[in-house]
Amino acid sequence: MVSKADAIPGMAHFAGSGPAFTRCDGCSFAEGHGRMEVAKGMGALKPITCAKWREMMGVRAGKKQPAFCHTTKACKHFSKRPTLLSEET
Ramachandran angles phi, psi of 76, nearest 5° = -65, -15
Q: Which residue has the higher pLDDT, 17 or 39?
A: 17
Question: How many residues in total does the chain contain?
Answer: 89
Ramachandran angles phi, psi of 83, nearest 5° = -100, 160
**Band (38; pLDDT cuts 50, 70, 90):** low
| pLDDT of res. 29 | 93
CB 2 within 8 A of CB 14: yes
**Band (77; pLDDT cuts 50, 70, 90):** very high
For residues 85 and 26, what is the distance between their CA atoms, to the nearest angstrom?
A: 15
For residues 6 and 17, what is the distance between their CA atoms, to the nearest angstrom?
A: 9
